[in-house]
Amino acid sequence: MTQMPQSLDGLRVLVVDDETDIREFITIVLEAQGMSVKAVASAAAAFEVLKADQPDVLVCDIRMPGGSGHDLIRQIRQFEAKEGGHLPATAITAYQDEDKEKSLKAGFDAFLHKFAQPNEWVETIAKLAGRASA
């Protein structure tokens, strides 16, 4: 894994994925870079967290039972339209045939495959947070 700048220390990331092993893996990778991670298993739980505490970046699975990532990001963007602000967000998926354009049109700022290299995760989150290295 490439070494990322210290400026990632304390970056707050909300991870949303219904698969426990994926949530735990992403959490380990991001915390190793100094980020503070809150991980939840559903879109509903994520929206509750967002109402109470605004993270710096959202990492959200697209396909989840009980509410997709696309539904969640649309809900977040509608809330932001009324309340202001913008939460940088990346969609994640394990499916090769997932439509990147559909995710971007739904309101995500970036798109990652779950099996991307860990440094890609870190670099994408750093860019979304405006903390990418030069």
At residue 132, the pLDDT reads 77
For residue range 18-56, list pLDDT tens digits in order.
999 999 999 999 999 999 999 999 999 999 999 898 899
133 pLDDT band, cuts 50/70/90, is: low
Rounded-to-integer distance, Cα 94 and Cα 54, Å: 26
For residue range 97-112, list pLDDT tens digits in order.
778 899 999 999 999 9
Domains and CATH numbers, the chain: 6-128 (3.40.50.2300)
pLDDT at residue 134 is higher than 90:
no
pTM metric for this prediction: 0.92
Rounded-to-integer distance, Cα 30 and Cα 36, Å: 8
